[in-house]
Amino acid sequence: MSCGKHHETDCSEVLQRVVFFIDNELEQADCAQIQQHLEECGPCLDKFDLERTVKALVARSCSEHAPESLRDKVLLSIRRVQVEMLETRISTERE
């Protein structure tokens, strides 16, 4: 996506990182770069506001916790897949 104006940081690059920006998961320099872009670019600011709103709605809607037994089953399944992947990798390396 591009708004048609020239920016120091391309709109598509900003929009790819906007979720990380919302979650404060970027380095300070990257945050400053995105903040500057959002101040200059109305379309990207609109997309940012939409992402932030959706994220807030999802967070409010996801207040329920899964039962402990379900959590245990999921963790066990993940561990089984990890073991299978490791076994496959080891057997492939031996070939």
The tens digit of pLDDT for each residue in 27-64 reads: 998 999 999 999 999 999 999 999 999 999 988 887 77
Measured CA to CA, the distance from residue 14 to residue 89 in angstroms comes to: 37
- Token pair 């999921």 is found at 74
95 pLDDT more than 90: no
21 pLDDT more than 90: yes
84 and 52 belong to one structural domain:
no
26 and 13 belong to one structural domain:
yes
55 and 70 belong to one structural domain:
no
- Neighbouring CB atoms inside 10 A of 33's CB total 19
Q: How far is CA 88 from CA 55, 74, 75, 78, in A?
A: 38, 21, 20, 15
pLDDT tens readout for residues 78-89 = 999 999 999 988
32 and 56 belong to one structural domain:
yes
- Neighbouring CB atoms inside 10 A of 85's CB total 10
**Which is higher by pLDDT, 83 or 3?**
83
pLDDT at 2: 54
76 and 58 belong to one structural domain:
no
Give this prediction's pTM: 0.58
Domain that holds residue 27: 1-64
75 and 39 belong to one structural domain:
no
